[in-house]
Structure 1
Amino acid sequence: MFLFALATALAAQVAPGPLESFGDWAVACDNVRRCEMTSLLPSDGETEPNGAELSLVREPGAAGAVSITVWPPDGAKGAPSLTIDGARVEGGSFRQGALEFSGVAAQRLATALVNGHAAQIVAGAGEKTGDISLVGASAALRFIDAQQGRAGGVTALVARGPKSANMVPAAAPLPVVPAIAPTGQAAAISPALIARLNKESGCGENYAEAFPQPEPEIDVLGGGATLVLLACGSGAYNLTSAAYVVRDGKATEARFDYNTDLINADWDPSSGTLSTHGKGRGIGDCGEGASYVWDGSSFRLTEATRMDECRGSANWLTVWRAEVRRR
């Protein structure tokens, strides 16, 4: 009963923010009201996928800085510019494969998105272009205004009004998640224990001689605990795992304070992070991801991302964040 109550209490602390789609845009806000919207391929299918994408982030609070990242078409070179409805709005240079705008330039771009119909990235002398539909962009910006308490105020991007900036709710602090470093040595896990865990979890039933089970991943967690990730079935692009924690030769099912569907799970010992990345389809343009740290008794969520629309975006949106404090 104590463990059940503890798990329930941990789960109650995690409340991811909302995610919506409007026209050819997806938009989400996280648990501290940081919001991001990203472009999708048009639902009418008239635009061919070419890697062009635009993302707008607005920070919470009265200051609420706006930043915009534009990913140009695949293979684009030269000095790119961004046009909206045929009029050049901003230009720049590629930085790590993208165009980034902040401050006045980002505000100007955001304002242009409100009433625009189509954006185009023109690279170099115009030899390579990428189209971005603006259908739904205004509605997504209005959603951000509402979620951040800007509607009817001077800081809104769409729903502007006379309310002063000090009426906007202050940015909430990130929740703090304690974590311990993965120090020490992983325990030796016997084949007999793996066989028992396969039987208890049912994972062993998903494999046969013609389709053998991958070797379990065994890593040190810290605090005398060892992580065992059992392969528990796979499809074309997703591998499901079952997680166990072993202490003093005894294995218990790992506890999580969020979604326990471990799809394409990966443990990074250098950062002490267990991450998942469940794809909705093979090209990875939709799905759900999460990152966890080990606090000595449970895996605690530090980030959650989602993309519900399978329409060409590799930019999954963040709906939960936490600050990690190592012990």
Structure 2
Amino acid sequence: MSYWMKSLFLLPFLLVASVHAAPLQKTFSDWQITCNNLNFCVARNIPGDNGLVMSLSRHAGGNDRPLLRIDYGNRYTGELAGGPLKDNLLLDQQRLKPDLKHWSVEPHHLATAHMISIDEFLAQVLDADNIQLTYRPQATISLHGLKAALLLMDELQGRVNGMSAWIKRGDRAAVDVPPEPEAPQMRTPGQPPTPLTRDETTGLIDFGTWRVNADECSLDPMRREVSVAPLSDEKALLLVSCEMGAYNVIDLAFEVTRSLPYVARGLTLTLPFVPPNHGDKQMELVNAEYDASRSELLTFSKGRGLGDCGNATRWQFDGREFVLAEYAEESTCDAWHGSDDWPTLWVSQRASEETVDAGAAAK
């Protein structure tokens, strides 16, 4: 079968994949790659606790905005001593001197978004074993797994056998790639709900305390905490701490009427995908916080006390249910970055007023 016939058979699959991108986080030897629901991917070497990390990121579609970075040190390590990277990098024990004409050059940080410069650098390093610092040999970037991670990135973004591919490059035009999937639109319930009165708060907390005593929670009743916030002018969100670990608290959530007689409905969070290292789409409320002014529920699960790994989510209440707005996860506990820099597996955008009005009119 000719290449063009194969391409015709492959094209529908690529178009479907571009519309329904499945998030993933995988490890290939010493490299981790994460791709979100828009097929934006970022790959980095692991572990990063030796202080030296190389990362490559790229968006899907023709406007790919690639970025290659080499960083020595982060917020966990603080400022590290030593000479500038541009003069002190070795590639397989030989001096590495990339052409830095189109790079941003700082003493311990190198970065470029210039496609030709990225291609030239990858051509130098793809088949090598490692990059390391002259003055700190243990600060090493293993290159084992880089090629496999970038090949997966090319495949997910539909670049294989095209001129924009990083690994399996071909003759297909660089712009001949599936478009970037559209981000889900998040609808808000409109005006923030009326704040709870003191009597409402007291009554709901008393009810929550009674309700928790009827549930199976490992946390001692005397140590349980109950918090309430307005969901709407008629209903409130009740959060009850149920289990506690060294640095995580698991909550139960209920939607409760704001007036007597109280009617409660248990709430569950269901993800639109199965996250890495998880068995299903059900999400526990870990270290949950609710911002009534924005109708947003936040969770933050630490993989360990340092807070350098775990997952963080943001859920939007749309007037009926909580819908996932953002999900970030770092599976590797290597003191490289905090939750604000964890790679995303799901992103969304807030619907404009025009979009919301059009949707309401259609109903």
Is TM more than 0.5 here? yes
Deviation, 1:256, is 3.0
Gaps of 5+ in 2: 1-18, 272-281, 354-363
**Which consecutive residues of structure 1, in runs of 5 or more, have no partner in the other structure?**
1-12, 43-48
Cα deviation, residue 279, structure 1: 2.3
5 Å-filtered alignment, 1:157-168, equals: 157-168=166-177
1:102 equivalent in structure 2: 113
What is the alpha-carbon distance in structure 2 between the residues aligned to residue 196 and residue 99 of structure 1? 57
Match of 1:321 in 2: 347
Q: Which of 1 and 2 has greater Rg? A: 2
Instruction: Output the CA distance in 2 between the equivalents of 1:235 and 1:292.
Output: 23
What's the secondary structure of 1:146's corresponding residue? helix
1:197 to 199, 211, 225: 211
Deviation per CA, 1:150-208: give whole Å up to 9, x if none. 111110011111222243111111111212354420342424311233134423x4215
Equivalent residue number for residue 4 of structure 2: none
User: Which is worse superposed, 22-31 or 278-287?
Assistant: 278-287
| In structure 2, distance between residues paired with 1:201 and 1:94 | 56
Greater relative contact order (Cα < 8 A, sep 6+): 1
Which of 179-188 and 259-268 deviates more?
179-188
Shift of the 93–226 alpha-carbon distance from structure 1 to 2, 3 Å rule, reads farther
Number of aligned residue pairs: 301
Q: Which amino acid aligns with 1:61?
A: G
Q: Corresponding residue for 2:358?
A: none
Greater share of strand: 1
Compute the TM-score of the two structures, normalised by the length of structure 2.
Answer: 0.71
Could you tell me which amino acid in structure 2 is paired with residue 245 of structure 1? Answer: E
SS in 2 for 1:141: helix
**In the TM superposition, what is the alpha-carbon distance from 1:313 to its structure 2 partner?**
4.2
Equivalence for 2:7? none
Structure 2 CA distance for aligned equivalents of residues 14 and 71 of structure 1: 33
* Partners of 1:236 and 1:14 in 2: CA distance: 38
In structure 2, give the amino acid aligned to 1:295. D
Q: CA deviation at 1:238?
A: 1.4
**Cα contact 1:35–1:58 (8 A) shared by 2:** yes
Q: What TM-score, normalized to structure 1?
A: 0.78
Q: What is the rounded CA distance, in whole Å, between the counterparts of 1:223 and 1:120 in structure 2?
A: 60
CA contact (8 A) 1:39 1:313 kept: no
Match of 1:76 among 55, 77, 80: 80
The equivalences for 1:77-156 within 5 A come to 80-81=84-85, 83=89, 85=91, 86-89=95-98, 90=100, 92-93=104-105, 100-104=111-115, 105-120=117-132, 130-156=139-165
Identical-residue share of aligned pairs (%): 25
Residue 240 of structure 2 corresponds to residue 236 of structure 1: no
2:280 matched to 1:261? no
**Alignment check: 8 A CA contact 2:219 2:241 kept:** no
* Cα distance, 1:297 vs structure 2: 1.3
Using the TM superposition, give the Cα deviation of residue 247 of structure 1 relative to its aligned residue in structure 2, in angstroms. 2.6
RMSD: 3.2
Query: Which residue type is aligned with residue 19 of structure 1?
Result: Q
- Secondary structure at the aligned position of 1:165 is classed as coil
